[in-house]
Chain A
Amino acid sequence: MKSLRRKLYKEILWLQSQLESKREAGVNVDDEHDLPTMAAACMYDGVRCCGFSSHSKHIKRNDVYPFEPLIVRSLWDQDHRIRRIPDILFYTQEVFNVKTGKIEKKQFVDKFIGTCAEDNAANCVLRETKNNLNKPKRLKQLVFDYPLRTRTYEREKMCKVCNKLFNKP
């Protein structure tokens, strides 16, 4: 786990230095001039990868399918409403309605799927281990370190969607 964390810190340091030079170079609206919010590291059978929160623009441009098949299958098992990926995950929660004074069920849009740093890192590991005999069969076999905020190195909790997707407690 320590080597995984070290790799992540190094990646963030590299990213920060890249950002500085990008900004100095001037305006380029097609390029990202900001740090990704979160970074995460994933490991399986000696393969270590780092990932960053990202939006789907890159995925479309590079014509890379946003998820490796294992993630798609897992998503499909969990929620059959997901027809198009990346899509939005809806969830319902009981909330207290101030106007009526009752507890009601309300539908929330949680977040975009496929934009988390964990998705990015897991995709990278699955891609790297694709041709291995001992490739992961289930997503819960992947090991994650805490996701970090790239600006401050502050550890955050894994989000609800990733917790569900990667079966982490």
Chain B
Amino acid sequence: MYSHKYQLTHDMDCYFNLNGFPIHIATNGGLVPDSLGTVGELQEIQRLVTQIDATQAYELNREYLSRLDGNSFPTQEEWNEFELDLPARFSVFDERDYELPFHWLLYSLSFVENARKGFFSFDRIATTWAGYDIYQLIAWPKSFHLSNSLNVGNHFRLKDCDDYYCGSVKCWPLVQMLKDAELRG
């Protein structure tokens, strides 16, 4: 895994398998366990993920997004005033979601991309007093029902998951899964 300094200064995309479910986390400068893989493995997963078509229907965690402070984000007016194009990646949103507040779209863009590719996509939102990171679910594939599929609920502590599932937070089964899909391709 990357050095602590790298992890603390980068918003890494980590992918792993948790109890059989494909998970994506945005580390937002948090530390992750070494069991998530070596640097090479992590980059290989990222490469494989870029090749997956973002076609799945997704759900957004609207309850969490509604708690975001809109004043902390650029407004659409500001964006237009600066004559900046919206990221081309905005096309991952369903048309119905263009009605949503602009800051919801900006915030959830990368998580929706991953949900579209079949991952439960989490963001690191806080660190506990004891130093464990809390991850919040932002978007997930619609084909899964949260209540009976992902036992961790809509937020989790990475450390707890690893303990609960006896060290099952590992990247390798996921790499194999993605590679098999690529070969079948």
Q: Which residues of A contact B (CB under 8 A)?
A: 2, 5-6, 9-10, 13, 16, 20, 23-29, 32-38, 53-57, 111-112, 115, 149-156
Contact = CB atoms under 8 A, between A and B. Distances in A.
Nearest to B30: A37
Nearest to A26: B47
Contacts, number: 103
Contact of B5 (A13, A25, A56): A56
B9 A150 contact: no
Nearest to A120: B9
Interface of B: 3, 5-6, 8-13, 26, 28-29, 39-40, 42-44, 46-47, 49-51, 68, 72-74, 78-79, 81-82, 84-85, 87, 89, 106-107, 109-110
Label chain B's interface by main secondary structure.
Answer: helix
Contacts of B74: 5, 9, 153
B10 A34 contact: yes
A6 B12 contact: no
Given A9-B74, A151-B110, A154-B73, A36 B47 contact: no
A28 to B, nearest CB: 7
Given A32-B6, A154-B68, 11 more contacts: A2-B81, A13-B85, A24-B50, A27-B43, A34-B12, A36-B11, A37-B9, A53-B10, A152-B73, A153-B106, A155-B73
